[in-house]
Structure 1
């Protein structure tokens, strides 16, 4: 039976560490990091996500600036608000909740955010810096996955890693981070042939496609570590149930370690959003970054060593 990777507990420890760092900053400097969230329209799922982000921001001792806008707002008006937040010295991170209404270009909006305040890590500048190995704001979900893998393995050097999914939000940056940690990386997608064979060779399998239970346990290499990013709502025994992209029941009989759904990767995403906000604040003030533990790592991943010491 696999070891269950408890992302909920890990995220709780990380948030506590971030809260401690924010408290120290407030005591010594009289200021705190600030995160601005922008929600356009009334998408129920987005409303829940934004509410949870704002709540955890406040719980970590940070300032939360919530902007809830009507779905009919023009693109120009939204870009104007982003320009105001870019110029606001109390705001160190800006997050625009996706998806946006059809009449607004998500690409234009994301790239209007000051890259230094782009705590989602989606701005083209941050994407480019990640791809060339420079310090960047990292997308929160891949960063959370890497922290879970770091705790599992310590060093990832030489591991065969398979990322199934090539989205800009998870798949592509996940592959870049694994490469930066010296893994041998394969990316699979809807047109990939012999997916089962690729899976059976992987020491690390990261699933991020949004297809419920598409990978059975018979495809998993014995002892492999499975990071399941998928969150899919299905009906089971007449009740709505959340499942991942991997068939957890059969996979957990084969894998060495596996993230559950829910309670695996999901909680890490918001915790890493707070980490990025703290990092952005420290950079804006010329302060040492808590995420930088002196290790030669891509931004953020080294924090695991620091909060392990603090735990």
Structure 2
């Protein structure tokens, strides 16, 4: 008897966030004396087709949500840093993002830190990264008024897993991936490693795979929100990859190579498969093994980016001492977009 799983499009998942974002933007505009819309600025200093496509998606989504978007192209990469500083100082700019890669080396990591923490919609600032890896969910743990920002694509994949009911909502927050095993093929500092840490912090056993080796991410012992731990399992061989995939409930791919295809025979019957690479990492026959297959995540990533920007505005209001009753968060508290991530 043949099996046919379901293909779930990112556009369908992103729709679940439309109402909350649109309502929150309307509240922001109505509460602003000048009725100014939130402004997101994107910096593009490369000719990467994936970045160009991402920029177009961002603009289209912003416009549909009532958010102003401005793409600033920087022909000379050496001037990008000063352009970011200008946006940091501009009170009219609520969020800033950079389309990577720019230099394609460690200098890109420096540029991530140039963006002001208060405007970093991508969640790449070192403060946010430190909080994420140590499972600290608030900038102000005592009052819990300012939520720490999470990187967009890892957050998008978490939200996709929630949408697909991989997260067990009967369990308390921080434990909702308990008993789940996942394999993540990508260990970049932008997506793969943060994603493995986030899933491990929520209780999953995560095998993080890159071209060199395979690491096992698990949550540490003790308190519910304890920091994850990492174990090196050795070189990435086809035998080891096949072995760790045998019991994997979730397989997530992000291999940035056009001709890479994940071996369909490694997929456990009924597993959930998600691809966040610009390239198609699964063969079409994945639908005969996976119960649920998400071929791309881009549109959910953009929704998370805009959601992050609205949270940054809330954080700024909280830092200024605006009470919850008068802040955007208070006015739309019924939507509670900050339940978990």
TM-score, normalised via structure 1 length: 0.82
Corresponding residue for residue 256 of structure 2: 210
Deviation at 1:149, TM superposition (A): 0.6
Whether 2:68 is the aligned partner of 1:47: answer no
- 1:106 corresponds, among 105, 108, 131, to 108
CA displacement at 1:41 relative to structure 2: 4.6
Moved over 6 A (4+): none
- Secondary structure at 1:167 match in 2: coil
Q: Does 1:3 align with 2:2?
A: no
Q: Which residue of 1 aligns with 2:132?
A: 130
1:200 pairs with 241, 246, 266, which one? 246
Aligned position for 1:188: 209
Matching residue of 2:27: 24
**Does the alignment pair 1:146 with 2:158?**
yes
Q: Pick closer, same or farther for the CA change 1:48–1:209 going to 2, 3 Å.
A: closer
Do the aligned partners of residues 188 and 73 (structure 1) sit closer, same or farther apart at CA in structure 2, a change above 3 Å counting? closer
Q: Is the 2:113–2:126 Cα contact (8 Å) retained in structure 1?
A: yes
Q: Which 5+ residue runs of structure 2 have no aligned equivalent?
A: 138-147, 169-176, 213-235, 319-326
- Report the CA distance between 1:58 and its aligned residue: 2.4
Cα shift at 1:104 = 9.4
C-alpha contact 1:216 1:250 (8 A) present in aligned 2: no
Structure 1 residue 32: Cα displacement: 3.3
Correspondent of 1:179 among 196, 200, 220: 200
1:174 counterpart SS class? helix
Distance in structure 2 (CA, Å) of the matches to 1:39 and 1:294: 30
Against the structure 1 CA distance between its residues 23 and 216, is the aligned structure 2 distance closer, same or farther, given a 3 Å change threshold?
same
Where does residue 313 of structure 2 map in the other structure? 281
Q: Does 1:228 align with 2:233?
A: no
Aligned-residue offset at 1:293 = 4.6
Matched, 1:167 2:188: yes
- Equivalent residue in structure 1 for 2:15, among 3, 12, 19: 12
* 3-state DSSP of counterpart to 2:265: helix
1:63 Cα deviation after fit:
2.3
**Deviation of residue 18 (structure 1)?**
0.9
In the other structure, the counterpart of 1:241 is none
CA distance in 2, matches of 1:147, 1:22: 20
Aligned to 1:255: 290
TM-score (norm 2): 0.75
User: Number of matched residues?
Assistant: 279
Asked if 1:36 corresponds to 2:41, the answer is: yes
Measured against aligned partners, the alpha-carbon deviations of 1:253-302 in whole angstroms (never above 9, x if no partner) come to 11121112xxx31221212111111111121122328785564x2x3xxx
C-alpha change, 1:151 and 1:37, in structure 2 (3 Å) is same
Q: 2:111 aligned with 1:96, yes or no?
A: no
Q: Is 1:270 paired with 2:264? A: no
CA distance in 1, matches of 2:287, 2:247: 17
Structure 1: where are the runs of 5+ without partners?
A: 233-243, 300-311
* Alignment root-mean-square deviation, CA: 2.3
1:143-202 Cα deviation digits (max 9, x unpaired): 111111111124222211111111111110110111122111221222323111111221
